[in-house]
Amino acid sequence: MTRGRTGKGTMYKLGKKPARIDKRTLPFKCLLKKLPLIPENFDLETDMTFPCEMWENDTYGDCVIVGRTNHTLRLEYAEQGKYLDISDEEVLNAYWKEGKLFPCDRKPNRGLIMLKAMNSWRKNGWIADGKKYNIYAFAETDKFNKAETKAAIFLLAGLNIGLALPNSYGDQDIWSDTREPPNPRKGHCVYIRPFWEDDTMKLATWGKADKYMTYEFYRKYCDEPYAVVDDKNKWLGANSPLDIPLLEGYLKVVTK
């Protein structure tokens, strides 16, 4: 398990295992009826204060569940209009449980396979603030398509992504230096917030709500970009940018 320090001396850990590819994963572009017009720059959390805790990612390689935690907070605020109070214990319980489910994770602190964790979030859900939460579906975005990436972030309350970071990641206040190759051994999961400014993205990780990353860095080092549809009913209707009937048909096929 990789361990390092942030610029301020805080200990942190990584914990995303090398990316897995499944050809059945729905591309986000197939879910879009049309690419809607997205503002050049946006910040959809201007008047909101979401908690951003470490959730034990300074001790354990639970970043895949921490990314899910940050995403769940936004998704459920959009659906329920309230902030969830998610505990360290709930985050770690999900980490231990899902780690033990995967045959390759025989030790409880070896990180998680992100794709399997996404599937578990959809199929099994997890306990957050004392209640079970599932997502309806997830889709893989095209990291090389800036317009599609922005649309997914803007429409679906951010992205849950995996990175194969360069060796110098701990020395960069803003993740922007793309001179080094990706290192699959330095896998990390982060939540990208619904924010975009001059091709710069804002993410939540390691207890920070305002870590920044350039789009070029994202293009090079992201190896698992997932958009999440939490509540399908929100997107029903002829004017919706998302094709929910197509998504429903797809899920019936892949879950047989």
Q: Are 143 and 223 in contact (CB under 8 A)?
A: no
Query: pLDDT value at position 10?
Result: 53
Query: pLDDT value at position 2?
Result: 45
Question: Whole-structure pTM over 0.75, yes or no?
Answer: yes
Query: pLDDT value at position 7?
Result: 42
The domain defined by 18-45+52-231+238-254 folds into Cathepsin B; Chain A (3.90.70)
Q: Where are the domains of the chain?
A: 18-45+52-231+238-254
Those residues of the chain that have pLDDT short of 50 are 1-9, 105
Q: Is 165 exposed, middle or buried, given 0-12, 13-18 or 19+ CB atoms closer than 10 A? A: buried
- Number of other residues whose CB lies within 10 A of the CB of residue 109: 15
Q: Are 213 and 199 in contact (CB under 8 A)?
A: no
- pLDDT single digits (tens) 95-136: 988 887 555 545 557 799 999 999 999 999 999 999 999 999
Q: Are 84 and 90 in contact (CB under 8 A)?
A: no
